[in-house]
Structure 1
Amino acid sequence: MTNILEVQELNKTYEESTFGLQDITFSIPYGSIVGFIGENGAGKSTTMGSILGTLQKDSGTIKMFGEVMNAGDVHLKDDIGVVFDTMKLLGGLTVAKLERVFREIYSNWSKETYFQLIQLFSLPKNKKVSGFSRGMSMKLSIAVALSHGAKLLILDEATAGLDAGGREDVLDVLKTFVKDQDRSILMSSHISSDIEQIADQLIFIKGGRILLQASKDKILHTYGITQCDPIHYETIPNEIRVAKRGSSSFFDVLVSDKEKLPQALQSKPFTIDDVTLLLMRGERG
């Protein structure tokens, strides 16, 4: 078994809305960190909620740890760690008292891991959670997710609200989490530098459809972005055109193989941010 999570043809619609997930299909190998990239409303949270069962899917198959997930399955709760930007913890409790609560909820709970992370994240043990800043609350949620023996982390904007130092601490912990190749992470973030730093696989989603999924190394080293006018655009082979963006007289073009560009065109230096902008704001090639 090579994949910790497999999603096949996932569909989800809403009443009185034109938005929906359309045939979402992807897999997450063991030992990988997958960056889930898209603008607000692209379908990231809906996909994650459908995987977790907090949203009821219309159709499709979700297989986790080799087992098909059905509505109402709760026996895998210890194996999944979840952090959502909108999560709310018991505000009237302190960090220390919360530990006693989670000790009763999770069978694999580790008090030692929890307090090690609390110390690493510089969180006060005896301050009520209701007094925490957004960044502190996110750190606490991450500490909880990492303290009950989870094999798969699903993180939706988990670095939101953190300063640069806090993000570095969290990203270091996440990289350590997958080091043994037995665990994986599905992570969305609007901070593309975080995704570029730690993800090895990337999934781009727009309007409930997946536009591109590939390894980060392939995108950075095989894909390319070139600039051209309409005449030169027509010389680019159809099979390598991924997306284009610009005016009627000049384009930025994302291609899947820069080595197949015509001799008159060259790929310019680019980042994952540049790829994201072309995919989200441009036209399909």
Structure 2
Amino acid sequence: MVKMEHVKKHYKDFELDCSLQVEEGRVTGLIGPNGAGKSTAFKAILNLIEIDAGGIAVLGKANDRLTQDDREKIGVVLSDSGFSGYLSVKDIIPVLSSLYRRFDRTAFVHMCKKFNIPLDKKIKEFSTGMKAKLQVISAMCHGARLLIMDEPTAGLDVIARGELLDLLRGYMESGDRSILISSHISSDLEGLCDDLYMIDGGKIILHEETDVLLDEYGVLKLTDEQYEKLDKEHILACKREGFGVSCLTAQKQFYMENYPGIVIEKGSIDKVITIMIRGEAK
């Protein structure tokens, strides 16, 4: 669905150098701190910025060769975009109908009613959650096979996030669609994504299956003495702590079996990000 190969984009104080792939039938997450390059990568995929090197394919074609029909198969939600607050949902229906030949008005209205989005109310009077759900529904209701979503759950409460994630799970049920999504809320990605790319300083520093990360990764909590005696072959990164050292490993079971006296915490997206980015790679 999406393939970025050694894509580079130079700015005055930042450089993107990124390769990633989104496969059909999968939800892929892009994670990392603010300023890491997530939004730049999304804009490059959508051909909103001109890249300096590398190649990007979307739906099997170079992203600058997509036809109108190809572009209609892509649904987009960007963190800095949205509908005019002076319009109502009824006002945007003819706009969407004119933009997308496969826009499904019946499905759109049904989903708006299902998720309690009023049709007559001005969008500026919507809650943050209502605006977010409206953007996602709009991206889904024109036959899109690929959703590209930059921080769609930002600013939402737990109930609104749950409703939006339910929307995305329903979208994936057909099996031939894909989603590329970024979010700062790790629990959203842990329950939604099949695989994760971590980006920092414009570069991909980790790619892993979500199940593998949650099941096989771990954080070792070590005193300085324990750290000195540790077999570090399976250590990915370490971070100095007040008590000693935290070490990230993708071989949690190895250390559980060979070092029964040390504290080992289960891996999570937040823990992996913290140690991979704030610690030192091994």
Normalising to structure 1: TM-score of the pair? 0.91
The Cα offsets for residues 234-272 of structure 1, whole Å up to 9 and x where unpaired, read as 555555221211238711111121233382246323432
CA offsets, 1:57-97, max 9 Å, x none?
11111112222222786552211111112113133321012
Kept in 2, the 8 Å contact 1:230–1:248? The answer is no
Change (3 A) 1:122 1:11: same
Structure 1's consecutive aligned runs of 4 or more residues displaced over 6 angstroms after TM superposition are: none
Given that 2:213 and 2:268 are in contact with CA atoms closer than 8 Å, whether structure 1 keeps it comes out as no
Aligned partner of 1:28 in structure 2 is: 22
- Cα distance change, pair 245–148 in 1 and its aligned pair in 2 (3 A): same
Aligned pair partner of 2:31 in 37, 47, 53: 37
* Whole-Å separation in 1 of the counterparts to 2:22 and 2:231: 31
Equivalent AA in structure 1 for residue 117 of structure 2: L
> How far apart in 2 are the matches of 1:239 and 1:52?
40
The Cα offsets for residues 135-164 of structure 1, whole Å up to 9 and x where unpaired, read as 222111111101111111111110112222
- 8 Å contact kept, 1:53–1:71: no
Please state if 1:193 is matched with 2:194.
no
Pair 1:119–1:224, CA change in 2 (3 A)? same
Q: Percent identity?
A: 34
Which AA in structure 2 matches 1:268?
A: E
The answer for the alignment partner of 1:49 in structure 2 is: 43
Taking a change above 3 Å as real, the CA distance of residues 249 and 163 of structure 1, as seen in their structure-2 partners, is closer
What is the alpha-carbon distance in structure 1 between the residues aligned to residue 233 and residue 171 of structure 2? 38
Q: Tell me the alpha carbon deviations over residues 163-211 of structure 1, each in whole angstroms, 9 at most, x when there is no partner.
A: 2221111111111211222001111111111111111111111111111
Name the counterpart of 1:18.
Answer: 13
Counterpart check, 1:268 vs 2:248: no
Structure 2 segments unaligned to the other structure (5+ residues): none
Between 1:167-176 and 1:227-236, the stretch displaced more is: 227-236
How many Å separate the matches in 2 of 1:232 and 1:12? Answer: 43
Cα-to-partner distance string for 1:5-49 (whole Å, 9 max, x where unaligned) = 1111111111xx221112x11111111111211111111100000
1:87 corresponds to which residue?
A: 81
Match of 2:150 among 153, 156, 168: 156
Q: Which runs of 5+ in 1 are unaligned?
A: none
- 1:1-285 to 2 correspondence within 5 Å? 4-14=1-11, 17-22=12-17, 24-70=18-64, 74-247=68-241, 250-261=244-255, 263-264=258-259, 265=262, 267-285=264-282
